[in-house]
Structure 1
Amino acid sequence: MHIADFGEVKLHYHEDGDPKGAPVVFANSLGTDMRLWDPILPLLPDGLRIIRYDKRGHGLSSQPPGPYSMGALVRDAERLLDHLQVRDCVFVGLSIGGMIAQGLAVKRMDQIRAMVLSNTAAKIGTPAIWADRIAAARKGGIEALADATMERWFSKAFRSSPDVHLWRNMMVRQPLDGYLGCCAAISGTDFYTPTSGLRLPTLGIAGSEDGSTPPDLVRETVDLIPGSRFELIRKAGHLPCVERPGDYAALLSNFLAETGHV
């Protein structure tokens, strides 16, 4: 575990694999920390430099005063990659992590050569929806949102397994102000125009039972980028890397091979 101190924010990050390998950077979803990617890491090709981090207000990263902007989250990722001297990475972003990927690709094409937009969109929800969630969490804590979130995150079959409690616990144990800060960032983001200007290899991944970013929403965003590819993982919700790690790792591994990253 490492901390990168940027003054305003201190980001917790971790590196696995070959320090001299081709870099793959992972950015996780709202209400999770970098452990989101644990199920797929052993299934990825050897020789990669794998970088994960907790976004501000989540996991072991610091919690600057909110609300946050998407620009701040993108700047955090940009500064971390500069700190680690990363260029030409494949950036894998899930949900809010996919929004960070889009913003970073627009801002720093030298840092990203290809990206995976997983269970995400150029715009997620509406300001009214996010305002309602923020109000509910302020009143009852993240616990007030947890059960409904599990229904959106996971398939019915997974919700009946004991493992769902791991992810529910992870969500409710995130810092409330950090969670709310990132809700505000999503609420204020509409990347349809900048994302439509991107020209880099892009893989879109959706889960057939995703209640947060349904497949058609993911496909709509991925289709903004010429030459992109869309893949659907069946029997999975918003976090297919958890529910179907083998399928997810296979899609990612194939994409890394196709783009010459392995």
Structure 2
Amino acid sequence: MSFDPLDHDFERGLQNRRSVLGDAWVDRSLNNANGFNADFQNLITRFAWNEIWGRPGLEHKMRRAIVLSITIALGRWEEFELHVRAALLGEEDSRLSPDEIKEILMQSAVYAGVPAANTAFTHTLQILREVGEQIGYALAPAAPAAAAHPGIGRAGRTASSPALHYSVREPRSGKAPRHTVVLSHALGCDLSMWDSLANTLAQDCRVVAYDHRGHGSSDAPEGLYAMADLADDAARLLRELDTGPVVWIGLSMGGMVGQELALRHPALVRALVLANTTSGYPEAARAVWEQRIATVREQGIEAIADAVMGRYFHDDFRARKAATVARFRRRLVTTDPAGYIGCCNAVGRVDTTARLGQVAVPTLVLAGELDQGTPVAMAEVLAQAIPDARLEVIAHASHLAAVEQPEAFAASVAGFVQAL
């Protein structure tokens, strides 16, 4: 009978320990071992680094985050500093960026207490000052009053009238934006419908989302609006923000505005994504829009809310995601009636079909397979009339495709934007 002299639990643990903490630290620990602490070094190598870090259930990057959180909560600052350094300087596939560590510290403020997070920031800042140049990270001055939630963006309103409420997300990469992207919402919605896509695109793009006139926190002037009014609103916003040419992503009414913007203000548009939208309605459909305006005038938006939700979301989604549908219904019925009526007129009278050949920018047309409001046939008209436009149909999606199928929608948009 043979006996293997290797302790494989120890060897596997040692390999994980080196991978996570680096050879230099592990070598110091082993070289400094003595008759008093050698058993302890053996214990933690076998149990912490093999039994836990050796489990495949979580990636090492996730385990780093867990260790940082626990050491903050327990106030184990020597261990915390060790793992911060290892996270910043470790192997690339398990490294944490300074911004990722910042998010761990921010969350720890809620779950472990502000004093603990405050101390964690102090220790981390000292380490960043030491290794910043090595990892290509500079601590630039920043004003706390100017800080904005990265998942919501910096809010503002246009100086010109009617005032438009908007948000701006700067690239999380910290680099110059690849593009400026503008997100333009559907009738009866607001800029929050884009939160998921906005945060995806904000990795390397500057992302602007805004509320159309009559919606959200934007002004709602009296009277009936035309699509040209909404396009001119968008042009005012872009000029005030000094965006230069933008990638316009519009859904339904937002896509109609994008068409008109590209035709009326071509210098402001770099590319178009036209989702769940149309360039014009037949006479019968226009009559339906007139009836909707009359109903809202007489009975309020509540009278049409259920029918609108039936158009926006297909039956299966409404059954599975009732809370999401309820949120969009609340947004619809709290929309300013005058603003809603004004925009209904603009949507019902949209008419760009004959001019689509003048659109001279890369264009992606997205349609929902189950969309009854702007069916695939309407998307085909857009794709055929706009030079070199490309059509993609999103499966199992109705009118608000970006909400019903967010992953598929984001994949199509992100691929298009990356290729520009």
TM-score, length of structure 1 as denominator length = 0.95
In structure 2, the partner of 1:243 is 404
CA distance in 2 between partners of 1:107 and 1:87 (Å): 15
Q: 2:158 aligns to what SS in structure 1? A: strand
CA distance in 1 between partners of 2:176 and 2:332 (Å): 34
Match of 1:205 among 363, 366, 372: 366
Match of 1:168 among 294, 318, 329: 329
* Count of aligned positions: 258
Question: What is the CA-CA distance between 1:253 and the residue it aligns to?
Answer: 0.6
Cα RMSD of the aligned pairs, angstroms, is 1.4
In structure 1, the partner of 2:301 is 142
In structure 2, the partner of 1:186 is 347
In structure 2, the partner of 1:2 is 156
CA distance in 1 between partners of 2:280 and 2:247 (Å): 22
The 5 Å alignment of 1:1-262 reads 1-7=155-161, 9-18=162-171, 20-21=176-177, 22-44=179-201, 46-124=203-281, 126-160=285-319, 161-162=321-322, 163-259=324-420
Q: 1:223 aligns to what SS in structure 2? A: helix
Question: What is the CA-CA distance between 1:44 and the residue it aligns to?
Answer: 2.9
The question of whether the paired residues in 1 share the 8 Å contact of 2:238 and 2:268 is answered with: yes
The question of whether the paired residues in 1 share the 8 Å contact of 2:201 and 2:207 is answered with: no
Question: What is the CA-CA distance between 1:236 and the residue it aligns to?
Answer: 1.1
The question of whether the paired residues in 2 share the 8 Å contact of 1:67 and 1:181 is answered with: yes
CA distance in 2 between partners of 1:171 and 1:223 (Å): 33
Q: Deviations over 1:97-155 (max 9, x none)?
A: 11110111012221111100000011145331111111111122111111111111112
Q: Deviations over 1:198-256 (max 9, x none)?
A: 12110001111112111111121222112111011111111111111111110011001
The question of whether the paired residues in 1 share the 8 Å contact of 2:170 and 2:206 is answered with: yes
The residue identity in structure 1 corresponding to 2:333 is V
CA distance in 2 between partners of 1:124 and 1:146 (Å): 21
The residue identity in structure 2 corresponding to 1:97 is G
Q: 2:239 aligns to what SS in structure 1? A: helix
Whichever of the two has the greater Rg, that structure is: 2
Q: 1:138 aligns to what SS in structure 2? A: helix
The question of whether the paired residues in 1 share the 8 Å contact of 2:170 and 2:202 is answered with: no
In terms of fraction of residues, the more helix-rich structure is 2
CA distance in 1 between partners of 2:419 and 2:227 (Å): 30
Question: What is the CA-CA distance between 1:20 and the residue it aligns to?
Answer: 4.2
The question of whether the paired residues in 1 share the 8 Å contact of 2:281 and 2:349 is answered with: no
Structure with more relative contact order (C-alpha pairs < 8 Å, separation 6 or more): 1
Q: 2:164 aligns to what SS in structure 1? A: strand
The residue identity in structure 1 corresponding to 2:204 is G
CA distance in 2 between partners of 1:151 and 1:96 (Å): 17
The question of whether the paired residues in 2 share the 8 Å contact of 1:24 and 1:89 is answered with: yes
CA distance in 2 between partners of 1:78 and 1:141 (Å): 31
Question: What is the CA-CA distance between 1:189 and the residue it aligns to?
Answer: 2.1
Q: 1:13 aligns to what SS in structure 2? A: strand
CA distance in 2 between partners of 1:101 and 1:40 (Å): 17
The question of whether the paired residues in 2 share the 8 Å contact of 1:23 and 1:89 is answered with: yes
Q: 2:225 aligns to what SS in structure 1? A: coil
The question of whether the paired residues in 2 share the 8 Å contact of 1:205 and 1:231 is answered with: yes
Identity of aligned residues (%): 37
Question: What is the CA-CA distance between 1:45 and the residue it aligns to?
Answer: 6.0
Q: 1:10 aligns to what SS in structure 2? A: coil
TM-score, length of structure 2 as denominator length = 0.60
Q: 2:291 aligns to what SS in structure 1? A: helix
> 4+ runs of 1 displaced by more than 3 Å?
none
